[in-house]
Structure 1
């Protein structure tokens, strides 16, 4: 009776602990698989403590992958499941390699209520399949629910072979333990290359045994710039480097997750830490100091010094001993030629090689091509491929070089037309640490990444084959810790992963947003510090030009309840509930919050200011710069003003021509003044207007001038600001108004680029 009683107690206890309901996930995960067919007629596969993960005996990679899957199940559900090589057909997740699957990184996933079969074209394919299982598994830990995966079939493979992410440890050092967390993050997003930027002006981070001073001296700077505007410094020395054994540890940790580590030693520029350690490698011989500020510095490796070339080869040979990657990244970016133009050794080498200026490349740029080609020989002799930034195009590409196009997509286009492979990583879309783009909030920040297309329509079908992938980058000038790192990376890495993995025909931004909450649940469970503004309301304002009104929408990625105000007061759950599009025809301060069971979002705010031409049809009579066109003429009459971020979509940029805009007020009105709102950012060659002219017309064809004025060119020392340029005139009645602004014809002598064209940025025009 005692044993029977104990058995009954155990049964009751187990019954009390058994989940009373189940949560079913979704096979449509991020990145979106190429083909998903969910079978809602069949019961899902429910994970429980008796579930087994089966892998083939003797396959160490699949054994490790099975263990990863068991750890993911533990992470999501709190359950411990067993891995086994024993045949088991029910309550099992069965892993295998199937050579009939053509894509090596592809996989086929079949889920029934009885079991899950996951076959990959290789062990890597199986690994990506378990990532899909992981992300389709609801996080039910600490809940009274069982985690279930819906029945269905997934056929999947990656769009690109190269799916990369770069972390710069030169500006700020991050420990091995945290880099492992980053690698886990990459694995979650199906990223297969970890680009490790190891050397910088501000710090050398990898042990090179032949040159011990690189880490003895070059890994430490005395202080760090904290704020450009105030010149505030952190006086604490910043240091850190990775031993060769630690680097090998990272390589293995990544390889276990089917991620290849690409090392970068940036040559011949960004070498101040190396020059401070070995001053004889520079053109002047030093002395050199490790810079504590950010930027591009004139001192670089001496292009004509045989010792500098020998140094580069020695370093890369040790790097290749550590890293088995097929690619070795040698930088090649931002290498000023100021010292080379004055250096006797560089000029002697130029003469020895017979280098001359050409219409495309000056002789110093061609010297860099020679230097990189010599380094490239060492790389190719070891059976590796040379990888570098798109400045390598400036002197002509070295044989066999693969280019990472960062300055814009144009570099990649130029590269593939030379029949070299290119990886697209443009700053405008895929640099996650850029302060300008980080000011773009919420779903708009995600959309900017998601909508980037690496393969340009300009390319022929043959040329498109040379675009081998895409990569996101995190630079760490202003990134001092993991909190900032993750805030910058997530959830934009999710959008990046869908660029890299998913065929364009299967991509859909709204669908991406619908799939995002499941991934955010994993971020939360792992403790990632992702951007919380993803939960905020996106306020969209669209001109109704025929009505002269603003059409206002409120959007959230998860269709949360939205409450708003229009008078500038703070909204709360008792404020007006958004149910349908708003139509506004007067000034408004719009504020909105998303109300969810777990709490309210932060307040989103937008201001609309009306004048006589706001929300009226506007025609640009000249083409803006192609990178800053945004919504064209309607951007200038939408009542929305920009901030100091000229890439935000609020500003239209004109380069080398005068803004010329015609506005149809749609009926005759009396007017007596006009204005344009401009951005001044002299450092980025953005100058104000130097003149303003107003013309009017009754028919939109024949115009006459009614007012004009001249405006002085910006003076040296002018700070970044927004400036409104106004002009008044006698009252006149008209329907059409034409506003012409004069751009600074050439940058003045005091500027760093004298004689070049200036930009003029306009965010709004107005007539009263």
Structure 2
């Protein structure tokens, strides 16, 4: 995300840039300035009282049932985390409390609370926590968050009353263990984090093309063969040596252990067994389950090996597998995938074509629906329900299916309108935690989209396109971590933290109680301090809100700050990324930029445990406005040349376009209509863009690899994306190349980058595509 600043005059840019961010003490204590008292997710209601409660070794704990698992969970926290071995006794409301301080845990009054709700009241001498089952557990989590990060002989807690319950019943997190395998202790750490932030469904992606991770006793080769693979490359990411086998799986006893561990924290484990596609691992083990194609078939083997053939033998196999799965998972929901099914093998299969005719189906899409409905009937007969990715809408939705909308919101909206339950988890709204957390090249390799923390936080799963009645079918939301680019636990934790904090607030808190500024600049401090103490890895927030930006003027003052308690900020002025051997920031920095020159200011945060943020860069330019061009024809649209050939960089179009004499007028910057009939081509657009007012304008494109933009002959780059432009017309040139991407085994979620060019006006928040009405030739 880039940010620019307005021009104050036509000839000299004198913007004073003051980037004032986070200020925290080293102990990250909760203060009265925080309306949520550091609690994540934000509670439904908090009322502030007078005074404080002093918790100590002498505080008595009284509970309806001293052996209740929630009571014992809190007792364990106090003993092992706070070093308090408090006296625990049965609560009798008829007996007057003794002198001193008391913590009362009771279900009396819980019947009037919403589902999963609790009430926590803290007065100077008494803490009363009312709740039952999951609600009581969540009340304990909020109470635990009120304790300071550091331990001491006594702990001061604010006198407040919290009445709280969740917005959604389904609050999920998905972990893919097929692409990279994680051990039981590593999985349990994810579940612990989920429980601490009131998430209640762990979607365990156990099966995919790259590895079968669950022991099925009736079919031992699923793990013996399907659980292992040779080295694999995803894009340009290779993370283990060549010629070595990679894999692993969970025994059924290990599965039971994880399910029990999660249930103790009120987390339901939803297993995913992929079908009909993403099935290479199973088909490596049992190749007889794939389609038998004619000898002259041209369908690539990789496609044949990816999808089950819907034969009676396949359904028997899957029913046997699911029978063992259901014995291990008490979950109402069984996730059956259903996404990204390449149906070319079905088109070429004589059996499938005969089956389509026999069942009176229209096409392969309806054959997929038949496949899904067959599995659903079996699971329904066992008292279970299916969840599927939104592609299960193709060919008609199974009668009782819940749709998990991932490609965007459209599938979820369509399912809700058909009165099906929906879990919103779009890859376009910050819910995919395998995506990059910023556009900086310093980020570790990830999937090629962005999901910044504020995007995750600001997502509302309930679409405004739905009527109030249809909105009731949105039962929750989920974050997903696909692990193509996540080979280690350190990377896993980096990818989900702090986005899991944001997800929890989206899933639990009512929209009116959310506040991103308070969340990111106040409450996160305490939770980062906890992660530091627990030695968890996480993405350290940068010292400036923008990572790489360009500003115009002659004098700038910066005051970078860190949200992480005890962190230090290091700075440089010479273009190098800061190290801990560089200057440590201590007070606001003022920089003078001579006319027609540039200066760089870089920062990096280093936490007390040595974790580092990526470096931020501010390029300061003292440059006058670029004059407008004398143009008055006002013919809407850009001239466009199409070159039908294969190019590797947009620069190659400069020479190729010279030989092309014919051009047309394009009414907008787009290439989508040409992609159907042209597998490889380049386009060159020329014309003028109308700039409405003097100012610094920020330009960007969907891809800097496929697209090049020039304004008045100056190339727009990621490093220097802004230009100071005078009001009026300026020359614009856009070059775009398109090549049909070669398929990469094991990689599915790649989409060819479209031609999109964005502009940000001075003072505007965010970016918008260039308005076609502002383009002329």
- Range of TM-score over shorter length: 0.7 to 0.9
Please state whether the residue corresponding to 1:167 is helix, strand or coil: strand
Find the counterpart in structure 1 of residue 166 from structure 2: 158
Find the counterpart in structure 2 of residue 631 from structure 1: none
Please state whether the residue corresponding to 1:534 is helix, strand or coil: coil
Deviation at 1:284, TM superposition (A): 3.0
Find the counterpart in structure 1 of residue 728 from structure 2: 736
Deviation at 1:494, TM superposition (A): 0.5
Question: Residues 583, 214 of structure 1: CA spacing in aligned structure 2 closer, same or farther, 3 A cutoff?
Answer: farther
Map Cα deviations across residues 106-149 of structure 1 (whole Å, 9 max, x no partner): 000001121211011x31100000000111111223xx563221
- Is the 2:177–2:206 Cα contact (8 Å) retained in structure 1? yes
Aligned residues: 646
Deviation at 1:222, TM superposition (A): 2.9
Question: Residues 286, 118 of structure 1: CA spacing in aligned structure 2 closer, same or farther, 3 A cutoff?
Answer: farther
Map Cα deviations across residues 330-363 of structure 1 (whole Å, 9 max, x no partner): 000111111111011111111111112xxxxxx1
Counterparts of 1:49-448 in structure 2, within 5 Å, are 49-57=57-65, 63-85=68-90, 87=92, 89=97, 90-97=100-107, 98-120=109-131, 122-141=132-151, 146-225=154-233, 228=236, 233-284=241-292, 297-356=303-362, 363-428=363-428, 429-435=430-436, 439=440, 445-448=452-455
Map Cα deviations across residues 523-543 of structure 1 (whole Å, 9 max, x no partner): 222221122x22533238999
- Is the 1:279–1:286 Cα contact (8 Å) retained in structure 2? no
Question: Residues 600, 577 of structure 1: CA spacing in aligned structure 2 closer, same or farther, 3 A cutoff?
Answer: farther
Equivalent residue in structure 1 for 2:603, among 559, 573, 592: 592
Find the counterpart in structure 1 of residue 643 from structure 2: none
Which segment is superposed worse, 235-244 or 510-519? 235-244
Please state whether the residue corresponding to 1:589 is helix, strand or coil: strand
- Is the 1:165–1:472 Cα contact (8 Å) retained in structure 2? yes
- Is the 2:201–2:270 Cα contact (8 Å) retained in structure 1? yes
Question: Residues 726, 539 of structure 1: CA spacing in aligned structure 2 closer, same or farther, 3 A cutoff?
Answer: closer
Question: Residues 613, 364 of structure 1: CA spacing in aligned structure 2 closer, same or farther, 3 A cutoff?
Answer: farther
- Is the 1:660–1:740 Cα contact (8 Å) retained in structure 2? no
Please state whether the residue corresponding to 1:374 is helix, strand or coil: helix
User: Which residues of structure 2 form unaligned runs of 5+?
Assistant: 1-26, 296-300, 444-449, 629-633, 639-664, 694-702, 715-724, 762-777
Which segment is superposed worse, 582-591 or 322-331? 582-591
- Is the 1:167–1:196 Cα contact (8 Å) retained in structure 2? yes
Deviation at 1:69, TM superposition (A): 1.0
Question: Are 2:546 and 1:539 equivalent residues in the alignment?
Answer: yes
Question: Are 2:466 and 1:462 equivalent residues in the alignment?
Answer: no
Question: Matches of 1:146 and 1:286 in 2, distance apart?
Answer: 77
Question: Matches of 1:566 and 1:226 in 2, distance apart?
Answer: 37
Find the counterpart in structure 1 of residue 686 from structure 2: 693
Counterparts of 1:671-750 in structure 2, within 5 Å, are 690-695=683-688, 720=705, 723=708, 736-739=728-731
Q: Which TM-score applies when normalising by structure 2? A: 0.73
- Is the 2:602–2:618 Cα contact (8 Å) retained in structure 1? yes
Question: Matches of 1:285 and 1:212 in 2, distance apart?
Answer: 27
- Is the 1:28–1:36 Cα contact (8 Å) retained in structure 2? no
Question: Matches of 1:227 and 1:497 in 2, distance apart?
Answer: 31
Deviation at 1:194, TM superposition (A): 0.6
Question: Matches of 1:540 and 1:178 in 2, distance apart?
Answer: 31
Please state whether the residue corresponding to 1:47 is helix, strand or coil: strand
Question: Are 2:496 and 1:489 equivalent residues in the alignment?
Answer: yes
Please state whether the residue corresponding to 1:395 is helix, strand or coil: coil
Question: Matches of 2:503 and 2:637 in 1, distance apart?
Answer: 34
Deviation at 1:372, TM superposition (A): 0.2
Deviation at 1:548, TM superposition (A): 12
Deviation at 1:721, TM superposition (A): 6.1
Question: Matches of 1:750 and 1:471 in 2, distance apart?
Answer: 30
Map Cα deviations across residues 359-380 of structure 1 (whole Å, 9 max, x no partner): xxxx111100100000000111
Deviation at 1:415, TM superposition (A): 1.8
Question: Residues 687, 148 of structure 1: CA spacing in aligned structure 2 closer, same or farther, 3 A cutoff?
Answer: farther
Please state whether the residue corresponding to 1:165 is helix, strand or coil: strand
Question: Residues 575, 322 of structure 1: CA spacing in aligned structure 2 closer, same or farther, 3 A cutoff?
Answer: closer
- Is the 2:197–2:504 Cα contact (8 Å) retained in structure 1? yes
- Is the 1:23–1:140 Cα contact (8 Å) retained in structure 2? no
Which segment is superposed worse, 68-77 or 188-197? 68-77
- Is the 1:564–1:576 Cα contact (8 Å) retained in structure 2? no
Find the counterpart in structure 2 of residue 759 from structure 1: 754
Aligned Cα root-mean-square deviation (Å) = 4.6
Please state whether the residue corresponding to 1:77 is helix, strand or coil: coil
Question: Matches of 2:77 and 2:593 in 1, distance apart?
Answer: 45
Which gives a bigger RCO, structure 1 or 2 (Cα 8 Å, sep 6+)?
Answer: 2
Question: Matches of 1:187 and 1:306 in 2, distance apart?
Answer: 41
Question: Residues 94, 595 of structure 1: CA spacing in aligned structure 2 closer, same or farther, 3 A cutoff?
Answer: same
Deviation at 1:50, TM superposition (A): 2.4
- Is the 2:554–2:594 Cα contact (8 Å) retained in structure 1? no
Question: Matches of 1:79 and 1:234 in 2, distance apart?
Answer: 52
- Is the 1:688–1:760 Cα contact (8 Å) retained in structure 2? no
Deviation at 1:554, TM superposition (A): 4.9
Question: Matches of 2:323 and 2:594 in 1, distance apart?
Answer: 66
Find the counterpart in structure 1 of residue 651 from structure 2: none
Question: Matches of 1:535 and 1:75 in 2, distance apart?
Answer: 33
Deviation at 1:101, TM superposition (A): 2.8
- Is the 2:56–2:153 Cα contact (8 Å) retained in structure 1? no
Question: Matches of 2:591 and 2:158 in 1, distance apart?
Answer: 34
Question: Matches of 1:463 and 1:609 in 2, distance apart?
Answer: 52
Find the counterpart in structure 2 of residue 36 from structure 1: 46
Question: Matches of 1:101 and 1:566 in 2, distance apart?
Answer: 61
